[in-house]
């Protein structure tokens, strides 16, 4: 009997499902969560002030955005499984730069950013290939449950490991990345349906960007993702810096993120709440609740209550988690099947654009006001999205057709 070929090995596995992608998403969360509170602290230690850190993040955001738009072209040349492998390699290269530290820290942040955008574009394309429309909400909430342990434990663990031995969090993150890569190959996802059948020339990034700009529903959904991500970005990067400047322990940022991430375990309840009402209502509640909490953070800061700032921003992340469950659905439900890979690349740019918008907004705020006023500016952006969400269709995300069944309940 002949030995199986690489093609047989990568395509013979049963079709992957919700839990397959949740497993990979959980591992990817572990890679990022271990360093999510470490990188801002190390950047601040290396460069000394929030202005300079904001400028470096701003430039890295542009680099990541441009690279992300080229990933579909890269996937057409390398095949999707090798593009995903390259993404993990970028993660590991960033971890190596983090081991060096000091002036190499921007390279650590860049490697993390490029690895994230590459892996998530590939993962989103696989999800759009294999997960039914009615299961997209279930897929997101299940992924968040799988990711919950990593995001609950790793942010504080990363800062603690940094205090024990500076290279330790980077070594742990690199080890998780290599385990994730091995798991990906064991799962045999291959190149996905769309890539496996593709016979057209390699996609032109400017062409599919133009198709995106001609579809208002995609623009609206992408905007929601950008501002939601900006809220997380401000919480993750600037709360630890604020805590240090306010005289709090440097572990406060990691502790706050770990506590907020623990709320991921209630996302199945959030999904059921959304299904009993509507996607539009859930999105509007999420944006308005987060807007009020971030504005409240500024109020607490000017009142001289640094722990109040931490508490109210922590409450705001509960609403951001609700948006993580439902905020991506307006975009994902509007994507044409023929444009899955290309539009997965466009959608993934929300992270990079938010990584440009957030430090850019911080730089502008810091020109005229102290850091806590950045929280109020973020609240204003979230409130604008609350207003825009009124444009969504009232039945967005419901099953099609008269008498069609509702989406299946979450089964973590």
pLDDT confidence of residue 300: 95
Q: Rank 11-15, 139-143, 406-410 by mean pLDDT and report only the highest.
A: 139-143
Query: Which of the 8 DSSP states describes residue 219?
Result: H
41 pLDDT above the threshold of 70: yes
Residue 398 lies in a domain: no
Confidence label for 338 from pLDDT (cuts 50, 70 and 90)? low
Residue 408 lies in a domain: no
Query: Which of the 8 DSSP states describes residue 12?
Result: -
The per-residue pLDDT of the chain, averaged, comes to: 81
Residue 313 lies in a domain: yes
Nearest of 57, 279, 262 to residue 145 by alpha carbon:
262
Residue 170 lies in a domain: yes
pLDDT confidence of residue 168: 95
Q: What are phi and psi of 403, to 5 degrees?
A: 80, 5
Residue 128 lies in a domain: yes
pLDDT confidence of residue 340: 64
Query: In terms of residue numbers, what domain contains 60?
Result: 6-391
Tell me how many degrees the CA angle 63-22-233 measures, rounded to the nearest 5: 35
Which spans in 12-135 are helix H?
A: 18-36, 38-47, 50-78, 80-100, 105-130
Domain of 379: which CATH number?
1.20.1250.20
Cβ burial 193-213 (10 Å sphere, 16+ → b, else e): bbbeeeeeeebebeebeeebe
Over residues 227-265, the pLDDT tens digits come to 999 999 899 889 988 988 888 888 888 888 888 878 877
Neighbour-count burial of 114, counting CB atoms closer than 10 A to its CB (0-12 exposed, 13-18 middle, 19+ buried): buried
Confidence label for 387 from pLDDT (cuts 50, 70 and 90)? very high
Rounded to whole angstroms, the Cα distance separating 349 from 249 reads: 33
Percent of the chain with pLDDT over 90: 30
Over residues 160-219, the pLDDT tens digits come to 999 899 999 999 999 999 998 988 888 776 665 543 444 454 455 566 777 788 888 888
346 pLDDT above the threshold of 80: no
pLDDT confidence of residue 291: 96
135 pLDDT above the threshold of 70: no
Rounded to whole angstroms, the Cα distance separating 159 from 156 reads: 5
Q: Is 200 left (phi over 0), alpha (psi -120 to 50) or beta?
A: beta
10 pLDDT above the threshold of 60: no
pLDDT confidence of residue 199: 46
Confidence label for 14 from pLDDT (cuts 50, 70 and 90)? low
Residue 83 lies in a domain: yes
Confidence label for 400 from pLDDT (cuts 50, 70 and 90)? very low
Over residues 62-111, the pLDDT tens digits come to 898 888 878 878 877 888 888 889 999 999 999 999 999 888 999 999 99
pTM over 0.85: no
Residue 146 lies in a domain: yes
Residue 325 lies in a domain: yes
- Mean of pLDDT values over 17-37: 84
pLDDT confidence of residue 201: 47
Question: Count of domains in the chain?
Answer: 1
Confidence label for 404 from pLDDT (cuts 50, 70 and 90)? very low
């Amino acid at each position: 009997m002949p030995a199986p070929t690489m093609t047989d090995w990568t395509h013979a596995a049963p079709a992957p499902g919700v839990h397959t992608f949740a497993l990979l998403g959980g591992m990817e969360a572990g890679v990022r969560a271990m360093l999510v509170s470490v990188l801002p602290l190390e950047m601040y230690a290396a460069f000394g002030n929030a202005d300079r850190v904001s400028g470096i993040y701003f430039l890295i955001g542009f680099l990541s955005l441009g690279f992300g738009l080229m990933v579909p072209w890269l996937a057409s040349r390398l095949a999707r499984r090798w593009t995903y492998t390259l993404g993990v390699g970028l993660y590991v290269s960033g971890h190596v730069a983090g081991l060096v530290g000091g002036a190499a820290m921007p390279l650590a942040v860049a490697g993390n950013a490029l690895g994230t955008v590459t892996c998530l574009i590939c993962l989103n394309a696989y999800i759009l290939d294999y997960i039914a429309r009615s299961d997209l909400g279930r897929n997101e909430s299940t992924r968040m449950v799988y990711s919950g342990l990593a995001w609950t434990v790793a942010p504080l663990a990363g800062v603690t490991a940094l205090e024990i031995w500076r290279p330790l969090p980077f070594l742990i993150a690199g080890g998780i990345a290599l385990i994730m890569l091995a798991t990906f190959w064991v799962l045999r996802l291959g190149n996905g349906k769309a890539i496996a059948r593709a016979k057209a020339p390699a996609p032109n990034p400017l062409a599919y960007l133009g198709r995106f700009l001609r579809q208002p529903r995609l623009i609206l959904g992408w905007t929601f993702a950008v501002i939601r991500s900006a809220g997380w970005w401000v919480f993750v990067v600037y709360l630890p810096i604020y805590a240090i400047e306010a005289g709090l322990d440097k572990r406060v940022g990691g502790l706050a993120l770990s506590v907020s991430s623990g709320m991921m375990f209630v996302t199945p309840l959030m999904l059921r709440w959304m299904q009993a009402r509507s996607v539009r209502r859930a999105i509007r509640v999420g944006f308005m609740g987060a807007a009020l909490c971030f504005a409240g953070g500024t109020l607490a800061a000017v009142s001289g209550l640094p722990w109040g700032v931490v508490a109210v921003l922590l409450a705001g992340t509960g609403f951001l988690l609700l948006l993580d469950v439902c905020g991506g659905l307006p975009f994902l439900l509007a994507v044409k099947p023929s444009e899955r890979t290309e539009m997965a690349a466009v959608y993934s740019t929300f992270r990079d654009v938010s990584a440009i918008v957030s430090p850019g907004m911080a730089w502008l705020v810091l020109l005229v006001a102290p850091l806590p006023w950045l929280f109020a500016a973020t609240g204003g952006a979230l409130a604008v999205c609350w207003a825009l969400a009124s444009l969504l269709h009232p039945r967005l995300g419901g099953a099609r057709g008269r008498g069609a069944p509702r989406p299946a309940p979450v089964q973590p």
